[in-house]
Amino acid sequence: MRPSTTTIVIRSLLGLLFLVFGLNGFLRFIPMPPPPPPAQEFAGALATTGYMFPLISGAQVVAGALLLAGIWVPFALVLLAPILVNIILFHVFLAPGGIAPGAIAAIFELYLAWQYRDAFGPLFS
């Protein structure tokens, strides 16, 4: 079944968002304002590991590219789900001011998960 135009647009927007911000994790071309102190501590702990930020950015790049290409979309959504949960919880508990983009991305993720729900059936059987 061919996805609707709405599904393609939302998939492309979500893919572009994560491709750009995933690449920004490596190339730092978008300046980010300093987060509040609790969020800085959390980010510092992730940075100290030496692997978490590259892992998160890499997953974002891969998932974003898959969404933009329209291939393995359910896999891309599975890759993004824990990242989006962390984005939402990060903003709820550590930096509430910037929750809007994460909330929009989460809504897009849920919409796409519903559109591709047949692919997720075997996970719950």
Q: What is the pLDDT of residues 73-86, one digit of tens each?
A: 999 999 999 999 99
What is the reported pTM? 0.93
Predicted confidence band of residue 60 (pLDDT cuts 50, 70, 90): very high
Rounded mean pLDDT, 1-14: 94
Q: Which two tokens stand for residue 63?
A: 């998932």
Q: Does the pLDDT at position 1 exceed 70?
A: no
Please give the pLDDT value at position 2.
Answer: 86
Q: How far is the C-alpha of 72 from the C-alpha of 66, rounded, in Å?
A: 6
What are 58's two structure tokens? 């890499």
The pLDDT of 90-117, averaged and rounded, is 95
C-alpha of 80 from chain center = 5
Which stretches does DSSP call E strand in 1-124?
A: none
Mean pLDDT of the chain: 95
Percent of the chain residues topping a pLDDT of 90: 88
